[in-house]
Structure 1
Amino acid sequence: MVGDLSAVVFDHFYRASVGSISGTGLGLAIVQKCVEIHHGAISVTSELDRGSTFEVSLPLSDEGEQ
């Protein structure tokens, strides 16, 4: 990602310059919301000209819920 786009990559309708790849810019926003609902976390690391890695962490169970 160019610059520090990790702050905006999860925004609704955000799209990076991806050439002819189609999309709406909603995918990562939806994933982030799903992860939050399940009390997890999502992060991104990126290297220019190498790509981006997204890491999702989900708890095995919620404390206090059965």
Structure 2
Amino acid sequence: DRGPGIPEEFRSRIFGRFAQADSTPSRQKGGTGLGLAICKRMIELMHGRIGFEDRAGGGTTFWFELPKHPRKEP
């Protein structure tokens, strides 16, 4: 994305349940803070991994990897 990026102090808990970088009463964005926690759990259940990379000047790229399993014929 092209947003402001993820604050350094929030990065270690970004995939936690109810995690929100801005938890002040005047925050501008909605949400429950569950989206990334749900993504992480689903990907882990499929033996994958998820992460992110902050870009200099703002923005973040989220990524995930899933193992490739051969298709089983019925």
Structure 1 segments of 4+ aligned residues over 2 angstroms from their partners: none
How many pairs align?
Answer: 63
Alignment partners' CA distance in 2, 1:5 and 1:45: 13
The structure carrying a bigger strand percent of its residues is: 1
Distance 2:21 2:11 in 1: 11
Calculate percent identity across the aligned residue pairs: 32
Q: Does 1:54 align with 2:62?
A: yes
Q: Structure 1: give runs of 5+ residues left out of the alignment.
A: none
The TM-score with structure 2 as length reference comes to 0.71
Higher RCO structure (Cα 8 Å, ≥6 apart): 2
Query: Given residue 53 of structure 1, which amino acid in structure 2 is its aligned partner?
Result: T
Shift of 1:51: 1.2
The Cα of 1:49 is off from its aligned counterpart by 4.6
Q: 1:5 to 1:47 in 2, by over 3 A?
A: farther
| 1:41 to partner: Cα distance | 0.4
Aligned counterpart for 2:43 among listed residues 35, 38, 52: 35
Farther off after superposition, 14-23 or 4-13 = 14-23
Decide which structure has the larger Cα Rg and report it.
Answer: 2
* Structure-2 change in CA distance of 1:50 and 1:2 (3 Å): same
Gaps of 5+ in 2: 1-5
CA RMSD of aligned residues (A): 2.2
**Structure 1 residue 5 displacement after superposition:** 2.6
